[in-house]
Amino acid sequence: MTRIRHLDVPAAPGPEPTVRDLLDDRATRYADHTALIAESLVTGGETSFTYAELRARATRLAAALAKAGVGKGDRVGILLNNDGAAEAHLTYHASHRLGAINVPLNTRYVARELAYVLEFVQPRAVVFGPEFAELLASLKPSLGGAALIEVADTPALGTSFRAAVEAADADLPPTPLEPTDDADWIFTSGTTGRPKAVALTHRGSVVCGYQSTGMWGMVQTSVYQSFAPFFTSTGSHSNLLAALAAGCTYVVEREFHVQHTLDRMERHGTTSTFLISTVLQLILDRRTPEELDAYDFSRLERICYGGQSASPAFYHRAWREIGERWDVDLHNIYGLTEGGTSGIMLVNDDHPEALARMGSYGLSIGRTGYRPWIEHTILDPDGSPTAVGEVGELCLRGPSTMSRYVDNPEATAAVLLPDGWLRTGDMATADEDGFVYFVDRDKQLIRRGGLNISSAEVEGVLLEHPSVAEVAVVPLPNRVLGSDVRAVVVLESSPPASPEELIAFCRERLADYKVPIQVDFVDALPRNGMNRVMKGVLTGDGGALS
C-alpha cells in the first residue's frame, strides 16, 4: 500500500533573517523536540540535544569563544570528524551567536593544504579533535594568534573544550547581525588548483534551509539521516540548515557502514536519507533483497542519491529494488556549494520516464528545482539559451547563491552573471520535455566517493617533482567510488622516476583521496590546435599510452 506523504511546499523562503533567528525560533516553538542525534568527543558516544538544549549549549560555547577573543566577522575554524559532530554543530551555532563566520576545515588535508587554508582564513579560533593536535602544532606560523580549543579533557594543544565552556559566563548579550552578513565560508575545489572560499550570507543560508527541506523531503516530524562529513557543504550547510528549517531531527552518522547505517535507520525510524550513488551501490551489492526486507523501514519515505554518474544497470536496479520494492520516493539530486545549495532533482514520479529515456548521457539529473523559486537554464558561450538537444553550460538562479568567492573578484565575476545566473561549470543538454542531462564537467574536477578533486591541483604537485616535464590528471573509472585519480606523465630525460615514486611523492603532499592510484608515461600529451591538452583522449580505457 502506498503511504500518503504530507510534504509542505512553501511558495517562498521562510521569514527568518539570520541562522541565529532560525535557531531561536525553533528553540521556542519546538523546545522539547529532538534536534540532533550525533556522536560526541565529550561524552565518548552518541548523544542527543533538544532544540532548547542546542540553543542553550551553543550560547554557553559562544561565551567561551567570546572570552577567547572571537567577535563579529571573525572566522572560527572547525576541524572535526563526525565522531565529534555534536561539538561541530555546537560550534557552528555558537559562532553565529557572536556574528562570527564558520569555516569548516577539511579533515583529510595534509599539512601543505591546511597551511594554505589557515593562512587564507586567518581564524580567530580553531575548534578541533585530538587527532589533529600534532598537525596543528606543526602549523603554528600559519595559525597566527588563533585560540586553539581541543575537544579533549587533557588537551595536547591549547584549551580543553569542556573546561572552556564550564568557565564561561552563560549570560551573553546578542551581537547585532544583518541578513547580508557572512554566515559561512566553505572551501571548494576549482580549476586553478587552489581551493576557493565560498561566502554564504545569513539570509542565503536560511533560504538554503527551506529549499533543502524540499530536496530531502522534510517536515517537522521527520528524522533525517546522513553520513556527510562536516567539512562538506552537505554536512555543514544543506543538511544542518534543512533540519533546522523543518524543526525536525537530524541523525549524523560517524561514517558510512552498510550494517551500521541500515541498523541506525531502523533504530531511529529514519524517514529520509541521502546516500550517494556509490553508497547505494554498496548496499545493493552487500545485502540481498530478502536481507533488506527483514529491516523495519516502515517510516522511511524518501531516499536521495546522486553525487556522481553511474551505469544504466545501477539506475534500473535502484528503482526496482529500492524505489518499487520498498515503496519509497527515490530522488536523484544535483547541486553545488556555490548555489548555497540550490539545484535540480529527478523526482520520484519522473523516474520511470527518465529510465526509459536513458541514452548516451545516462540518466537525466532532473527537471524540477528544489523549490519553485529556483530556476535553471542552459546557456551557450554567448549567454543565450541553447536549443533542445544542444550542449551548453548549466546555470542556476536563486536567493541562496553565494555572495562571492572571498578575496577573489575575478573568479566571482566569472561565475556570477549580472542577471543573477550562477555558472556551474557543468556542461549539459535538455530534451524536448525539459529533462536535463549532465554531459561533462567543464571545471575538470574528478569526483571520488562524493568528494571533489581538482586535477589542476594534483598536476601542480606532480610538476614539483624534478622528473616530471608535463602531466595531465584524469579520472579512472571505479565502480564503487565513481572515479580514481590517474596521472599521465611526460618525463624529463633525467633523472627517471617510477610510478611508485611519483605516487609516494603525491602522498606526502596531498590528502589521501587525491593521490593518483595509477601513473602512466607518454612521450607527448595530445593537444588541440589551441595547444590545450585533450584530456578526453586520455580517458578512454585508462590504459597506458605509447
- Backbone dihedral angles phi then psi of residue 427, each to the nearest 5 degrees: -85, 140
User: Which residues have CB under 8 Å from 78's CB, separation 6+?
Assistant: 88, 91, 92, 102, 103, 104, 105, 126, 127, 128, 230, 231, 236
Give the H/E segment covering residue 94: helix 85-97
CATH 3.30.300.30 assigned to 445-538: yes
Q: How many CA atoms lie within 13 A of 399 on its CB side?
A: 20
Structural domain boundaries of the chain?
445-538
User: What is the C-alpha to C-alpha distance for residues 499 and 505, in angstroms, rounded to an integer?
Assistant: 10
**Degrees, nearest 5: CA angle 355-287-314:** 20
Running DSSP on this structure, what letter comes out for residue 15?
Answer: S
Enter the C-alpha cell of residue 319: 528503482
Closest Cα partner for 106 from 117, 96, 95, 120?
117
Helix 19-29 to helix 85-97 angle, to the nearest 10 degrees?
Answer: 110
User: What is the C-alpha to C-alpha distance for residues 490 and 459, in angstroms, rounded to an integer?
Assistant: 12
User: What is the C-alpha to C-alpha distance for residues 147 and 226, in angstroms, rounded to an integer?
Assistant: 30
- Backbone dihedral angles phi then psi of residue 318, each to the nearest 5 degrees: -60, -40
pTM for the model stands at 0.86
Q: What is the pLDDT of residue 495?
A: 73
User: What is the C-alpha to C-alpha distance for residues 331 and 334, in angstroms, rounded to an integer?
Assistant: 10
Concatenate the DSSP letters of all residues of 188-254 into one string: E--TTSS-EEEEEEHHHHHHHHHHHHHHHT--TT-EEEE---TTSHIIIIIHHHHHHHHT-EEEEPS
The answer to whether 352 and 193 are in contact (CB under 8 A) is no
Enter the C-alpha cell of residue 525: 600529451
Closest Cα partner for 505 from 519, 488, 490, 525?
519
Exposed e or buried b for every residue in 426-435, given b needs 16+ CB within 10 A? bbbbbeeeeb
Per-residue pLDDT of the chain (546 residues; tens, 9 = 90+): 233 333 444 556 778 999 999 999 999 999 999 999 999 999 999 999 999 999 999 999 999 999 999 999 999 999 999 999 999 999 999 999 999 999 999 999 999 999 999 999 999 999 999 999 999 999 999 999 999 999 999 999 999 999 999 999 877 888 999 999 999 999 986 444 678 999 999 999 999 999 999 999 999 999 999 999 999 999 999 999 999 999 999 999 999 999 999 999 999 999 999 998 878 988 999 999 999 999 999 999 999 998 766 778 889 999 999 999 999 999 999 999 999 988 999 999 999 999 999 987 889 999 999 999 999 999 998 899 999 999 899 999 999 999 999 999 999 999 999 999 999 988 889 999 999 998 766 656 788 888 878 777 788 889 889 899 889 999 999 988 889 999 999 998 777 899 999 999 999 999 999 999 999 999 988 874 334 577 777 875 333 332
